[in-house]
Amino acid sequence: MKTFDARGHVVDHATLVESHPPVPFSDHSGSIAAGGAAQNVYGAEVAPAHGVEFYNTSDTLMYLNFGADATAGNGVPVAAGAGYYLPGPGGRMASGRLSVLCASASKTFTCKTF
């Protein structure tokens, strides 16, 4: 299989891999400490530069919000067993902390940032 650059030239795979090293990720997975109270998944000081993947691994609806406490009114709903990914269309990444809200304690989620 051949890979081509923007000008249509064949790109050497060894050069391609060396020039695009993997982006390291951080794990912010956890569980809900107190039902009905927003909590940080990660703080603004460790906000990701490239993207975030959040998976609701519980059986209960969760809400996410960037930069402020998540509520049912301002949060992005993430259904049980579903995920939320950024960057979205246009490649923009939300800044600041990520807050999560869930009605029940001990519900789990996974969150990877990169």
pLDDT for 5-41, tens place per residue? 555 555 555 554 555 566 688 999 999 999 999 999 9
Distance, in Å, from the CA atom of 7 to the CA atom of 9, rounded to the nearest integer, reads 6
The domain that contains 87 carries what CATH number? 2.60.120.770
pLDDT digits (tens, 9 = 90+) for 38-68: 999 999 998 888 899 999 999 999 999 999 9
DSSP string over 23-46:
PP-EE--EE-SSTTS-EEEE-GGG
On whether residue 8 sits in a domain, the answer given is no
The parent domain of residue 105 ranges over 24-113
pTM score? 0.79
Domain assignment present for residue 10? The answer is no
At 4 the pLDDT is 54
What pLDDT does residue 55 have?
Answer: 97
Q: How far apart are the first and last CA of the chain?
A: 28
